[in-house]
Structure 1
Amino acid sequence: MLVNNTDRPARLHYMANGFRVLTPGDHVVCGVTGVRIPLDQLRYWDVLRQQPFATAQAASEAMAPR
């Protein structure tokens, strides 16, 4: 049986130099903005929080000391 991963969120495990797909999908959702990020465009994430970010600015905002 073929599984279509279009329009399904992926579940990932974020590591220092990459990520591992735990559940197949075509995108993840930014932890700050809620924007959908196609997996081939995912560049920013937080390993400790296991959270993806759409842009460097969103990542900086999330990781800024409070």
Structure 2
Amino acid sequence: MLMSNTDRPARLHYMANGFRVLTPGDHVTCAVSGERVPLEELRYWSVAKQEAYASAQIASEALAPQ
């Protein structure tokens, strides 16, 4: 039985210049806002924290020194 990746969260390994899909899916969840981010729109993540962000602003705030 073939399973669709539609409406399933992906599990990714974030690297400096991209990411590797560990578990297939069609989106990830923003670590800050909880917003769904389709994989084809994913542009912002933290390699050190291994988490995704929905926008540049959210990523900047999440990664800013405290």
Q: TM-score, normalised on structure 2?
A: 0.97
Percent of aligned pairs sharing the same letter: 71
Structure 2 Cα separation of the partners of residues 63 and 38 of structure 1: 21
Cα deviation per residue 1:9-34 (whole Å; 9 max; x = unaligned)? 00000000000000000000001110
Q: One-letter code of the match for 2:50? A: Q
Per the TM alignment, residue 3 of structure 1 is displaced from its structure 2 partner at its CA by: 1.4
SS of the equivalent of 1:20 reads strand
Per the TM alignment, residue 2 of structure 1 is displaced from its structure 2 partner at its CA by: 1.1
RMSD: 0.5
1:22 aligns with 2:19: no
Q: One-letter code of the match for 1:6? A: T
Gaps of 5+ in 1: none
Residue aligning to 1:44: 44
Per the TM alignment, residue 52 of structure 1 is displaced from its structure 2 partner at its CA by: 0.3
Structure 1 Cα separation of the partners of residues 42 and 59 of structure 2: 12
Residue aligning to 2:9: 9
